[in-house]
Amino acid sequence: MPKSSHNTEGILQVLAQHANAHGHLSYYDFVNTALYDPQWGYYQQPRQRVGQSAETDFYTASSLGPVFGRLVLEAAHTLWNAPTADIPFIEIGAEPGAPVFDGLKSPFSEHVCHRLGETKELPSPAVIFANEVLDAQPFHRFIFQNGRWQELGILIDNEKLTEIILPEMTSGAQFYQARLPQMSTPGYIIDVPSGAEFFLTSLIPETWEGMIILADYGKTAPALLYETPQGSARAYAQHKQKQDLLANPGKQDLTCHIIWDWIEQCLLSMGFTGLELNSQEAFFMKNSQSTIKEIITKQEPQLSNEKNDLQALLHPAHFGQKFQILSARRTSIDI
């Protein structure tokens, strides 16, 4: 199990405050603190995280700039299937210094950006778009050992973080235990993206109406529960995937795959209808045809920047199949 030392003293003190009397901490609390602590959290730091430069940690489809923004705007307008002049477009998880939709011609009344960790009231009705936000939420870790599932957690001791099996499951982990397979291979690890569901239920008020478009990477429940024995949690820093989730808390991104079946069930329980999950390639090919045609047929050099970006977004070997997009709506408006 991973172990790391020489962590930042400030965030270690915060983590210790979340630990119990034995210095034990759930992965959920560790990740939540490492990512979102107001002072030390990774997503609270005033630095550029997303992009293709050496100073950033990872890049997403939004890093490809205007082409991605144009595809998303057309797709949202297509799916709404009604006038949008009075409908605001809300981007959740917007990174500072990385405007995806700035300067683009938009069919929506206004664009509002919410950074990760911010709490703002959502206008209603509206279109909500979130790109790689669900995978940026805290998670629980489980390991199958001695014929049963046990919760992996962290021991904080002498400025060291060590992964351990917790003596007892935390209440949050107990809630998800029933969803795990009854039997598994000894040592099988499952990372449960529990924070993704909490994020959605906390984000959307009971009376809110509109459409939600969620772009992320994930798998079906059978794939993650039976086909990924090492778990899906990873750390990223300077464009390198790291296995040590405990190294440098607050200074590296922590993420795990989404379980799309569970997200769909969550949205259904919240009253959403018309759920449709597609690969990113299929989603844009179906809903952004005009933008795709315009870029492809534009009289430019064969390897223009726009065509290169479009290829990266749609090609199965790039973002096209690695990412999925789920759309759903909850509205009394006939759209």
Query: How far apart (Å, rounded) are the C-alpha atoms in residues 89 and 97?
Result: 19
- 324 lies in a domain? yes
The pLDDT value recorded for residue 222 is: 94
Residue with tokens 């959740």: 92
- 73 lies in a domain? yes
Question: Residue 240 in contact with residue 253, Cβ under 8 Å?
Answer: no
Selection from 323, 279, 246, 262 nearest residue 61 by Cα? 323
pLDDT digits (tens, 9 = 90+) for 60-70: 666 667 899 99
pLDDT digits (tens, 9 = 90+) for 257-286: 999 999 999 999 999 999 999 999 999 999
CATH number (domain holding residue 44):
3.40.50.12710
Compute CA distances 151 → 25, 207, 293, whole Å: 11, 36, 50
- 67 lies in a domain? yes
Into how many domains does the chain fold?
1
Query: How far apart (Å, rounded) are the C-alpha atoms in residues 152 and 111?
Result: 41
What does pTM read for this prediction? 0.90
The Cβ of residue 53 has, within 10 Å, a number of other Cβ atoms equal to 10
- 208 lies in a domain? yes
- 170 lies in a domain? yes
Selection from 162, 235, 241, 233 nearest residue 3 by Cα? 162
- 36 lies in a domain? yes
Compute CA distances 57 → 7, 112, 237, 256, whole Å: 19, 25, 5, 16
The conformation of residue 121, written as its DSSP 8-state character, comes to P
Please report which helix (H) or strand (E) contains residue 164, including its range.
Answer: strand 160-165
- 264 lies in a domain? yes
The pLDDT value recorded for residue 97 is: 59
Give the 3-state secondary structure of residue 155: strand
Selection from 175, 324, 305 nearest residue 261 by Cα? 324
Give residue 320's domain range: 3-330
pLDDT digits (tens, 9 = 90+) for 12-54: 999 999 999 999 999 999 999 999 999 999 888 776 666 565 5
Which pairs with CB-CB distance under 8 Å and at least 24 residues apart come from 147-150? 149/177, 149/180, 149/184, 149/190
pLDDT digits (tens, 9 = 90+) for 184-197: 999 999 999 999 99
Least confident window among 73-77, 166-170, 240-244, 268-272: 240-244
The pLDDT value recorded for residue 18 is: 92
Selection from 294, 291, 230, 286 nearest residue 257 by Cα? 230
Query: How far apart (Å, rounded) are the C-alpha atoms in residues 46 and 81?
Result: 38
- 335 lies in a domain? no
